[in-house]
Chains A and B, each alone.
Chain A
Amino acid sequence: MSKVIDLKGSILSLTILNIYSDDIQQVKLEINEKVEQAPSFFSGIPVVIEPKVSLVDPTFLALLVEFLYQLQMIPIGVRSEDPGIQDQAEYAGLALFPPQEHKARHKTVPEELKEDMPSEIGALVIKHNVRSGQQVYAKGRDLIVLGSINPGAEVVADGHVHVFGKARGKIFAGAAGYADAKIFASHLNPEMVCIAGMYQLSEDIDDKAKEGFVEVALKDNKLVFNSKILG
């Protein structure tokens, strides 16, 4: 049997019309000016209206919609948190879009992560071995593993990673983008080390770095293995 309908989610790119004035005449004038510059561009495009001021005139949206249709644009919805505007939108037969989420967090600044979880002070300490298939994530802080990280295990920290046992799994430091994050290990023979997205596989790690205490750091977009850090 062939499908008749199918509902699917999709992310579309739409044009937003920001409104900074509650004077409908002024708004119409400005829109007209814009459209005259390139009439074909605006013909038939779907538009979401986002009023940045409160609209006192209860017919504002209805008038604006009418006007946009005249210019061959297709207003489909409104994005606003203002209940008054939402009422108008419903009346004008426009869809409601949720207000834009706050801008994605800037990833390289650890201060913001601290703000994110003020209660998580200090490092996450794991006292046992991290075994194959297990994952540990120290969100917004350092990670200290007193046991070993076995092959097939993954440890991730937004800060530094310290391993007191044998480090044989995958180790990610600065996972949220903190480029000054470091990995400290007394026996480093990992499947992978990664700092702020720069990674290196076991086979690309110099054998010398796998003996004794070593610090892994990110310098000029390259991972540097320093085994002389303790002098």
Chain B
Amino acid sequence: MERDLATLEKGVRCCSWNYCGQRLAVGYADGSVAVHDSADPSSTFSRSSKWMVHACGIMNIVWIPPEFGDAIACLCVDGTLSLWEEVGEDVHSVSWKQCKVFECSDPRVLEVQFGVSSAYLKLVAAYSDGRVKVYELLDALDLNKWQLQISPIQFSQDLVFAFFDTKFKIWEFEEARQRWLPVAELALTEDKDDRVHAVAWAPNIGRSYELVAVASCKGIAIWHVGLNSEPDERLPAEKVALLSGHDGEIWQLDWDMSGMTLASTGGDGMIRLWQSNLNGIWHEEAVLDCCGGQ
């Protein structure tokens, strides 16, 4: 059922796949990053580069959307955020080069996401003081030129959402007035003190609503968020399921490309797959146990 793709060196802190799943960036505790490539989806990964990003460990790596090149954002344990891209003057001189460092020692950057909105690349950085900064890329060819837009993490078309401590809100950028507006809050009154661990926005291939998974200490909440605003400019949001199963903190949520299956990983070392049946009832479809290892 499983196939070995790569063996990683010691000290791995985080992993991130690119848009087509054929490049894997691995962040290490010593501050280095390695990129592994596979020639096609059926072949294994081999390491193509490894370099030192920062003096302290890499906490998270996020790939920049492919319309802007092969580039990653590296978030370090001390809150430093740097952008690196693979460039070369000719095919033989291709290497990873640093193109931007965001000065942010205090408050620290905790999370970073990218979104493409009407040909502009936006970078959203969430800081330890509860603020969020949105930067916009000025030159599509130069990942060094960023302009601070304004404040609210993950984009779905023109929507964006953010964590504010324990509250999970969706913000939308209003092009006409060039401002961010809170349009929905994905938390019931009794859940408002729950800390959010992970969020994933399902790809929308034609649903009349957005599907958002929010992981908190209570489990994974599945939300339907309407696409059209109500008279009070808020988007209708409905919590359709609360999925419990992981024993411990939920680490990551990832939707498949049709938005039908949600994969979650958690502190119990399990990968759980969730689907909805024909009546819209969400259930656990399968469990992949990563604890054994034989």
On whether the two chains bind one another, the answer is no
**Interface positions of B (Cβ within 8 A of A):** none
